[in-house]
Amino acid sequence: MMKRVLLIAALVWLVAAGISPVAVGQDPRLDAALRDIDTRIAADFAKDGVGGISIGVVSADKLVWSKHYGYAEAETKRVANNDTAYRVGSITKQFTALALLQLVEQGKMRLTDPLEKHVPEVRNVQKSYAGTPAITLLQVATMHSGLAREPGCANHSVGPNSVWQKIVVDCLPQTSYVNEPGTTYLYSNIGYASLGAAIERAGGAPFITQVHDRILKPLGMSRSGMEATPAMRANLAHGYQRRQGTTPPSREAADRELDGRGYRVPNGALFSTVNDLSKFLIWELGLGPDGILRKETQDANYNRAFYYNAAMTAGYGVGFQVTRRSDVVMLGHGGSTAGYHASALVHRPTRLGVVVLRNCDNCPADAGPIAASALEGLVKSVR
């Protein structure tokens, strides 16, 4: 009887701490890998202890383990849980690309469409290459448009979400081509912002509405969105920026961006949580609800990517990054904004996924390396 009481007490503590106990039926081979992940994150986080780290592990169609380190809000020592909202930066691009693929399925767009068919203002971009065809939606979505990473206009990342489209259009004449389209990988935030404008016009509804109604809502991602709602703010991980020397970490820039990021809506405005992103990872693994995208469209998309380094360890598809560590090939995306870093990765053959959310900039324990290392270890543990 005493053992049973102690077991129940332990489970209650785990839930209160935001740590999921091992799920019933979970592959026991994951246990050692999870302990190793926990040990390594705790050690890395202890190097400076700024902000916090949240991690979730998905196996097949379940979030089977999660844990939270440090604080969602250092000033009040408030600890994060699986419903704590973080900014996830460029993970937003996965949802923008998914909205594009939905419109392709509906026949409202084609990947081979010139971007200027939907956003004619792109003709005003500077330093175009004479004689080259107009850039396509596929080139923009796979980071081969040749467009600069950022526009040249001032204050492009300031302003509420309601004006993001205007900022994009106003900034295109002050944006330049850096490479000849279709020839070289170049990460472009203004490219994805323009893609969002194309989706809005072709889809016949505001971009934010399309993402909410056609992706977030069907997936049950009720605590995710482009706006910091009152519910999100009540359980928000505040972003901290770590500075050199003895200056204490600041949350000023991250808090200021809660009211809007200017043109950076389709390329980096999303808020999400461990629970919600786990639902998206489950869908990426092919185990989520029907109706988001046809399975053949989803599978075909993951079979189309372009490596951009000689070692072929990194690549980009329509809205997703490819990361290869030894023989483990992971799909997903990372993200960073003022005060936040995030990473969400899946390994489809083993049906495993990892999400890591971090509310600190310039910190030793970074979301991207943690997620990739954790997923690699998990995959190898079940092979």
Asked if the model's pLDDT at residue 317 lies above 70, the reply is: yes
Average pLDDT, the chain: 92
- pLDDT, residue 243, reads 78
For the stretch 6-18, pLDDT in tens is: 343 443 334 334 4
Mean pLDDT for 344-370 is: 96
**pLDDT value of residue 247:** 72
What is the C-alpha to C-alpha distance for residues 172 and 157, in angstroms, rounded to an integer?
Answer: 14
Can you give the pTM of this predicted structure? 0.92
| CB-based contacts of 186, cutoff 8 Å, min separation 6 | 143, 144, 145, 146, 147, 148, 149, 178, 179
Q: Show the 3-state SS of the chain.
A: CHHHHHHHHHHHHHHHCCCCCCCCCCCCCHHHHHHHHHHHHHHHHCCCCCCEEEEEEEECCEEEEEEEEECCECCCCECCCCCCEEECHHHHHHHHHHHHHHHHHCCCCCCCCEHHHHCHHHHHCECCCCCCCCCEHHHHHCCCCCECCCCCCCCCCCCCHHHHHHHHHHHHHHCEECCCCCCCCCCCHHHHHHHHHHHHHHHCCCHHHHHHHHHHHHHCCCCCECCCCHHHHHCECCCEECCCCCCCCECHHHHHHHHCCCCCCCCCCCEECHHHHHHHHHHHCCCCCCCCCCHHHHHHHHCCEEECCCCCCEEEECCCEEEEECCEEEEEEEEEECCEEEEEEEEHHHCEEEEEEECEECCCCCHHHHHHHHHHHHHHHHC
Query: What CATH code is assigned to 28-86+224-382?
Result: 3.40.710.10
Q: How far apart are the first and last CA of the chain?
A: 39
Portion of the chain with pLDDT greater than 70, in percent? 93
Fold identical between 28-86+224-382 and 94-207?
yes
pLDDT band at 229 (very low <50, low <70, confident <90, very high): very high
Give the CATH fold of the 94-207 domain. Answer: Beta-lactamase (3.40.710)
CB count in 10 Å sphere of residue 22: 14
Q: Which pLDDT tens digit goes with each residue over 41-85?
A: 999 999 889 999 999 999 999 999 999 999 999 999 999 999 999
The domain segmentation of the chain, as residue ranges, is: 28-86+224-382, 94-207
CA 187 to chain centre: 15
